[in-house]
Amino acid sequence: MSTQKLAMVIDSAKCIDCKGCMASCKQANNVSRGVWRNWIKEAVPPVVDGLDGAKKLGHGHFQPGACMHCDEPTCIQACPTGATYKNAADGTVVIDPKLCIGCGNCIKACPYGARFRDPVKRIADKCNYCPERRAAGLAPACVDTCPTKARVFGDINDPSSEAAKLLAANQGKVVRVVAKNKDTKPNMYYIASTAPDGWTVQPVDPTSFDFLAGVVAPAVKLAVGLSGLGVLAMLGRQLFAGAGTHGPDNSHGPDNSRGPDNSHETDSKPNTEKKEEDGHA
Amino acid sequence: MNDNSTRQISRRDFLRLAGTAATAVAATAVTAATAPEAKAAPAVQAPKWESKYSVCDMCFNRCGLIARVERGVITKLDPNPKFTKSRGMLCARGNAGVAQVYDPDRLKTPLLRVGARGEGKWKAISWDEALELAATKMKDIGEKYTRCGMLFSAGADMQSGFVNRFAEAFGSFNVTSHESLCLLSGNRAFLDTFGDVPLPDVKNSKYVILAGANRLEALVTPDSMDLISIMKEGAKVVVLDPRYTKSAALASEWHPIRPGTDMAFMLALANVIITEKLYDAKYMAERTSGLDKLADHVADMTPEWAEKETGIPAADIRRMARDLAAAAPSSMVYPGRRTSDYENSTQIRRSFAIVNALLGNYDRPGGLVPARPAGLKKVPGEPPWYDDNPPGRVDAKSVPLLFDEEGSFVLTREAVIKGAPYPIKGWFVYKTNPMATAPERAKTREMIDKLDFMIVVDITMSDTAWMADLVLPAPSAMERTDPVQALQSGAEGACLVWRDAVIPPLYQSRPVFDILKILAGKLGLGEFFDFDIESYRLKQLAAFPEAAEIIKRDGVFYPPNPPLGGTDGAAFKTPSQKIELFCSRYAEMGLDPLPVYTPPKPSPDTARKFRLVVGRSACITQASSTNNALLSEFEPENMLWLNDEAAKELGVKQGDVVQVESPVGKGELKALVTPKIRRDTVYMLSGFGSISGGLSHTKGVGASIVELMETRYDSICGNSAIHETFLSVKKKGAA
């Protein structure tokens, strides 16, 4: 069924952390103040030897990111209403705003922190690869605007796409950032290497779904989910959630680059790993 | 250029096909909704927008853009892929251009001051009243104090040329721009060495030394993007900076140089290149003058000597000199843009120019290239002669080599305060903001207090507008029709752009051109503005009859670009007709003909331990964009970068509010405790600590750099020197 696999192929070594992608996304998608559909993370630079035994900082690295539109996403199972689903046509993970009740389960279920509750719209939101722009024949806003063209977007099932070509040209040198306990098969590919890693969080499945996960057919799961009292509770949670209650989930603020001291990338117990990819294109 | 547009088209075609495919699939698969894990999404419609070319106004780069307009409202600004100078990008600031247009803080009507100056009490008045008042005051000042009693200052804007034209017609020599607070020292140095101010051809370079130029944050197109591209291809980029900037982080090599010692580094490079004879002897003999004198001058300036001054290991300096020479002529010491650092900045930049001369990189790919021909015609006007005018600018002769057309803002300010050599009592300001960019804000305020009448034309109530008598609302760039501007892009040649209005002017705003045209009429100077912008543009483009249609079609026009090397054999525009390693003009004027290194002066006060350095980020362009709703999310305030070990000694922790003090001012801001800066240096982002009540994001937020900076200037050209101030730092509330 799936004819396309839309993906982002990123050469993070080219990223200068200018925030062009974040500004462009926010403007294109009318994302509320304080929350972001995409981000740039900064690796903690190594300390190297300087003059007379002094230490100085070594090479730095920035890592652009956003929803990875995983092949095995943890967010879909967590959604009690079916608002989040995988688009069979192009492989993107889609949120139907009409079905989303803003319960926040998907936000906790995403190990990459890619989702947040929009404080104004009060529903879950994340990167959607700009479908309106694609319909107009344009690249997603972040890709179009990128000064160094670190972000490349396309259908990696189409060997003639720029993204597929880039993957093919870098066979054996492509990595993904994945959650350690659950390889969600992200469709965000980093060329050669990337940093930081270890920044993902443990995906949290809503308890009520744990026993169902992977056992019951999706349609049944949806019905059970909707019949439970859980839905009422979730609706209540949405109604009482005030503006700005995106909470700790969307931690990719622009402040990530303010310095190594307040960055979140120093986790000594990484729960993610970089997966070496080979010959996937 | 052909390659680029072809690639762009094919990529777009692919995306268009992809969109069609998605639509087709969706139409046949709507019933899959019962299977939530994989169903077809409903078809998404393309936005019903009109696409219109314009040119970004969020900084001086002027990147070509496409405005998406839906029902008369700009919803998005995208890069113009045909505008190759920006490499098809639009940065965060460019994207935030929409927030600038719809900024609730915009000026909406002419405002007349009714309270005390700076008190913020205003009365909305009509345009008729405002322009009549302005004309009357200018006429009165001209009659009472001569025409030179009016000062005109315009920022980097596509209509600023009209302000200069007006000043000339009105009869005042006193014109300043932002440049004497920014880049004049570098221009002076290269002009006095090469006879022109060449541009870096980064794209073809194999080895680039960036000394104090934070080019991956302070974006300059195409240099910033090209630095990344060339490093991917194996070129070396070395960054010297007391701060671990993003440029430092991504460079091939970073050295935390001791501030103020760049000249020692450059002279040591010269020492190695000369003593090891790494230069092209024939080229040096034919094209340069003063090699022997330079050789004597730098004989003792070994890398070991420079190591003691700069803190950069001698072995590294020697290696860099050899590698630079090996890559020559496709190598360079990057000239830099803002060079308003030290009182001897012209001489510092002369040492940059001299190393480039030793590399023989002038007019060579990957080196420094002369400005490419743009072919724009001047639209003439013969200004009247006013017999009673003084002989020259108010800041004339204050320094030996002032740029007459730019002047020196800090020296002009000094003259206004003193009322000597003659009084200046009126000030017309267009889109420039000395209250936020000129060192020692208290002195700018003192200058303004000497004035009888001050007019500011701007988009928002800047700190400078806040001090004015009359504030006139200007439209944003997206609401304007603008003349043609030529932009330079390394060896790739010049390009020509203009603006057509994307939307009509908002509120009661009026372009400065209209304001000046009306004022000229009222002052009997109408003949100097007897055109509209459309006809003016055609006159500018007289050499290229096809250009107007092409700009309408593509948003940009590329005039013919002759190949590099065209200056080979031609005389340089210097007294010796050669590249002047030894500057004969300086010798005649009693200035050092070769750059003489003096170690940076230590702080005169042991309580003020930290040298203040300032800069900008990729998200802001000084005070003109910090108040932007979108950009303020990235840079909500400025913080004091303080070395982590120094902070420990001061008992300052991350995020603590610190009090900083210089001999001229004070400030309070949060500390950013970091290993990313030297122990002897602190850093602040420009554009914060505003005083204007019309700036809702920045008023009183963070600290102002110009509140703290002392008034210092380049002793040769009068450019401000803004790294000469030392601060004391203490935790708020500490003894």
Annotated domain spans of chain B: 1-44, 111-182+376-480+504-554, 198-370+578-589, 610-731
Instruction: Give the residue from B158, B61, B56, B62 showing the smallest Cα distance to B97.
Output: B56
pLDDT number for residue B627: 97
Supply the CATH number for residue A151's domain.
3.30.70.20
Domain tally, chain A:
1
Q: What pLDDT does residue A201 have?
A: 86
Residue of A nearest to B20 (CA): A135
What angle (nearest 5°) sits at the alpha carbon of residue A275, between those of residues A273 and A281? 155
Q: Identify the pLDDT of residue A192.
A: 81
pLDDT in tens, B607-656: 999 999 999 999 999 889 999 999 999 999 999 999 999 999 999 999 99
Q: Please give the Cα distance from B612 to B259 (Å, whole number).
A: 10
Q: 């003691």: which residue's tokens?
A: B308
**For residue range B281-304, what is the model confidence (pLDDT) as tens digits?**
999 999 999 999 999 999 999 999
Mutation for testing the B interface, residue in A35, A84, A93, A138 having most B CBs under 10 Å: A138
Size of interface A-B (CB pairs under 8 A): 230
Mutate to test the interface with B, among A74, A261, A265 (most CBs of B within 10 A): A261
Q: Quick one: average pLDDT of A77-82?
A: 95
pLDDT in tens, A26-51: 999 999 999 999 999 999 999 998 77
Question: Residue A205: which domain range?
Answer: 6-44+55-244
Chain A positions in Cβ-Cβ contact with residue B25 (cut-off 8 Å): 3, 88-90
Q: Using the beta-carbon criterion (under 8 Å), do B630 and A84 form an inter-chain contact?
A: no
Give tens-digit pLDDT for A264-279. 343 333 334 454 443 3
Beta strands B236-240 and B253-255, pairing class: parallel
CA distance B139 to B134: 9
**B15 → closest Cβ in A20, A50, A134:** A134
- Contacts A87 to B, Cβ<8 Å: 38-41
Tell me: pLDDT of B35 over 70. Answer: no
Establish if A157 touches chain B: CB-CB under 8 angstroms.
Answer: no
Considering only the beta carbons, identify the residue of A86, A133, A158 that sits closest to B38: A86
Q: What is the rounded distance in angstroms from the CA atom of residue A176 to the CA atom of residue A71?
A: 13
> B149-164 as b/e, with b when 16 or more CB fall inside 10 Å?
bbbbbbbbbbbbbbbe
Radius of gyration of chain A (CA): 19
pLDDT band at residue A253 under the 50/70/90 scheme: low
pLDDT over 90, % of chain A? 64
Residue B484 Cα, gap to closest chain A Cα (Å)? 25
| pLDDT tens, residue by residue, B45-98 | 999 999 999 999 999 999 999 999 999 999 999 999 999 999 999 999 999 999
Omega cis (within 30) before B329: yes
Cβ contact, residue pair B95, A23, below 8 Å: yes
Beta-strand (E) ranges in B104-172? Answer: 111-113, 122-124, 150-154
Q: Confidence band (pLDDT; 50, 70, 90) for A54?
A: confident
Q: What is the mean pLDDT of chain B?
A: 94
- Asked if residue A85 belongs to a domain, the reply is yes
Question: What is the number of other CB atoms lying within 10 angstroms of the CB of residue B420?
Answer: 10
**Nearest residue in chain A measured CA to CA from B250:** A60
- Identify the closest residue of chain A to B27 by CA–CA distance: A89
User: Which 3 state secondary structure label does DSSP give B481?
Assistant: coil
Give the pLDDT confidence of B355-383 residue by residue, as tens digits.
999 999 999 999 999 999 999 999 988 89
Given phi > 0 = left and psi -120 to 50 = alpha, else beta, which region is B62? left
Q: What is the pLDDT of residue A182?
A: 87
**Closest to A3 (Cβ–Cβ): which among B21, B34, B76?**
B21
CB-nearest partner of A57 from B35, B79, B675: B675
Question: Domain B111-182+376-480+504-554 classified CATH 3.40.1280.10?
Answer: no
From the list B13, B19, B655, which residue is nearest A135 (CB)?
B19
Does the pLDDT at position A280 exceed 50? no
What is the pLDDT at residue A254?
58
Nearest-neighbour CA in chain A from B366: distance (Å): 19
Judged by CB atoms closer than 8 Å, whether chains meet at B676 and A57 is answered as: yes
On whether residue A149 sits in a domain, the answer given is yes
Q: What pLDDT is recorded for position A203?
A: 84
In a domain, A131, yes or no: yes
Long-range contacts of B237-240 (CB under 8 A, 24+ apart): B237/B207, B237/B208, B237/B210, B238/B207, B238/B208, B238/B209, B238/B210, B238/B320, B239/B210, B240/B209, B240/B210, B240/B211, B240/B212, B240/B265, B240/B310, B240/B312
Give the ipTM. 0.93
pLDDT of residue A252: 65
pLDDT tops 50 at residue B142: yes
Residue A129 and residue A83: Cα distance in Å, rounded? 17
Is the residue at A191 inside a domain? Answer: yes
- The answer to whether the CB of B355 falls within 8 A of the CB of B194 is no
The alpha carbon of residue A275 is apart from the nearest alpha carbon of chain B, in Å, by 23
**Which of B5-9, B171-175, B249-253 is predicted with the least confidence, judged by mean pLDDT?**
B5-9
Q: Which tokens sit at A12?
A: 């993070």
Q: For B436-490, write each residue's pLDDT tens digit.
A: 999 999 999 999 999 999 999 999 999 999 999 999 999 999 999 999 999 999 9
| Contact check, Cβ <8 Å, B15/A1 | no
For residue A222, the chain B residue with the least C-alpha distance is B36
| Share of residues in chain B with pLDDT > 90 (%) | 93
CA distance B718 to A72: 64
Options 3.30.70.1400, 3.20.20.210, 3.40.228.10, 3.30.70.3170; CATH for B198-370+578-589 is: 3.40.228.10
Render A20-62 in DSSP notation, one character per residue: HHHHHHHHHHTPPTT--SEEEEEPPPPEEE-GGG-EEE----E
Q: Which residue of A has its CA nearest to B620?
A: A18
Q: How would residue A234 be classed by pLDDT, with cut points 50, 70 and 90?
A: very low
Question: Which residue in chain B has the smallest CA separation from A85?
Answer: B37
Interface of A with B in 83-142 (CB under 8 A): 84-90, 92, 94, 131-139, 141
Give the SS3 label for residue B509. coil
What DSSP state is assigned to residue B44? -
Question: CATH assignment of B610-731?
Answer: 2.40.40.20
For residue B591, pLDDT beyond 50: yes
CA distance B139 to B135: 6
Best B58, B232, B250 residue to mutate vs chain A (most A CBs within 10 Å): B250
A240 pLDDT higher than 80: no
Q: Which residue of A has its CA nearest to B49?
A: A136
Average the pLDDT over B701-724 and give the result.
Answer: 98
Mean pLDDT of B95-108: 98
Domain assignment of residue A201, yes or no? yes
In the predicted model, is pLDDT for residue A176 greater than 80?
yes
- Give me the pLDDT at residue B37, please: 59
Q: Is A256 among the domain residues?
A: no
Partners of A89 on chain B (C-beta within 8 Å) are 21-22, 25-26, 29, 40-41
Query: Whole-angstrom Cα distance, residue A199 to residue A110?
Result: 12
Q: pLDDT value at position A250?
A: 53
Tell me whether residue A252 is in a domain.
no
Which of A24, A89, A90 comes nearest B95 by C-beta? Answer: A24
